[in-house]
């Protein structure tokens, strides 16, 4: 998605440890119009797939996911990183975060993920794929079906996309960063 | 907002301790169309106010806030509950949650909240107003201006709305729950 690459080049920062800072339009400040157009692109890429629900994870996945849900008229569920008092029966998966160097647990209530649900997962970043793998496990626990995973930004210099594709998961990333060099980003086409 | 009240009556649950469970359309599964219409209602109520930025807090505030940003073409910033590695200069406020009986810190980067910014704050729930008060402090630290606060659901049986209004803050809530009785909700008009 050309507009997104331009935005990353103009406003993104490559930090040490492979961290990409895009806080001006995705991870802290959000550009809602860009999220809408990213959603349109996800919908186009997955137009031959049949899905009835969008799944994401709090917090930065919510904006693009909600736009996919808005355009397609489908509900969005966001996986939680802590179990709230209102949730008493959840699918649970342990995830190790590369960025934060810690392990954490994600939760999706059994109320909103059912056997037979056909799920499109949307998130902000694909790095090592740990979160995506945890989500894929949760979908399996629920006997639901994962039709694909869409990411705003893929760090192609990490293993996530490769790992997910080896599991037979369809992955679509709107900007694939192959390498960074100072403030320069090199994208994969 | 009549549609919202109907939705709360049909799908909401009143739990012990004044907790309202609306996980089917707001706090876990999200109804994007309803969020869009809630945003339209917020925009209508604040139509005489001049604001250039929407502020919310992760995670459940993001969906309605992003829709307000989308319709008005304004950027959305979500306050964070933990400081990420990409943020190195933040406004910070300590919030004591009466619901959770614990204190937590919220962060907004100085990059995205500037002196003179005119802020509309949007969130899912107004209960005791602790979060809103913390946000109001952050806006003051930044020498920005808070033009108003919009909430999807107000628990009118708690003190938040009263406390905020006493500080001169304009509060608009789309559904005001005055009391609950078993599975019954009583709304304030």
What's the Cα-to-Cα distance from B189 to each of A156, B7, B153, B156, rounded to whole Å? Answer: 53, 16, 13, 11
Identify the segments of chain A with pLDDT beneath 70: 98-99
Cα distance from A89 to chain B (closest Cα, Å)?
13
Asked whether this complex has an ipTM greater than 0.90, the answer is yes
* pLDDT greater than 90 at residue B101: no
Burial class (CB in 10 A: 0-12, 13-18, 19+), A105: middle
pLDDT at B99: 66
Which tens digits make up the pLDDT trace of A46-69?
Answer: 999 999 999 999 999 999 999 999
What six digits make up the tokens of A175? 């900007």
CB–CB of B5/B175 below 8 Å?
yes
The predicted model gives B168-188 an average pLDDT of 95
The predicted model gives B92-103 an average pLDDT of 84
Residue-averaged pLDDT of chain B: 95
The answer to whether A104 contacts chain B (CB < 8 Å) is no
For residue B163, the tally of other CB atoms under 10 A from its CB is: 17
Please judge whether A32 and B76 are an interchain contact, meaning their C-beta atoms are less than 8 angstroms apart: yes
The predicted model gives B25-50 an average pLDDT of 98
Percent composition of chain A: helix, strand, coil (DSSP 3-state, to 5) = 30, 35, 35
Burial class (CB in 10 A: 0-12, 13-18, 19+), B151: buried
Please judge whether B73 and A19 are an interchain contact, meaning their C-beta atoms are less than 8 angstroms apart: no
Which of B28, B71, B74, B124 is most worth mutating to test chain A (most A CB atoms within 10 A of its CB)? B28
First vs last C-alpha separation in chain B: 10
Query: Nearest CA to B131 among B100, B156, B157, B110?
Result: B100
Cα B187 to Cα B181: distance, rounded to the nearest angstrom: 12
Rg (chain B; Cα; Å): 16
pLDDT at B71: 98
Cα A50 to Cα A116: distance, rounded to the nearest angstrom: 12
* pLDDT greater than 80 at residue B128: yes
Q: What's the pTM value of the predicted model, to 2 decimals? A: 0.97
pLDDT at B85: 85
């Amino acid at each position: 998605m050309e507009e997104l690459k331009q935005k990353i080049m103009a406003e993104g920062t490559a930090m040490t440890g492979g961290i990409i800072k895009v806080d001006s339009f995705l991870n802290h400040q959000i550009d809602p119009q860009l999220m809408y157009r990213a959603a349109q692109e996800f919908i186009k890429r997955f137009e031959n797939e049949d899905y009835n629900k969008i799944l994401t994870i709090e917090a930065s996945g919510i904006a693009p996911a909600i736009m996919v849900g808005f355009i397609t008229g489908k509900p969005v569920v966001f996986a939680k990183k802590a179990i709230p008092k209102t949730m008493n029966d959840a699918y649970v998966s342990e995830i190790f975060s590369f960025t934060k160097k810690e392990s954490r647990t994600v939760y999706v209530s059994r109320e909103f993920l059912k056997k037979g649900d056909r799920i499109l997962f949307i998130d902000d970043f694909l790095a090592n794929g740990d979160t995506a793998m945890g989500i894929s496990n949760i979908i399996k626990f629920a006997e639901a079906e994962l039709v694909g995973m869409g990411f705003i930004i893929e760090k192609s210099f990490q293993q996530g996309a490769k790992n997910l594709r080896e599991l037979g998961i369809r992955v679509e990333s709107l900007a694939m960063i192959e390498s960074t060099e100072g403030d320069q980003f090199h994208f994969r086409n």
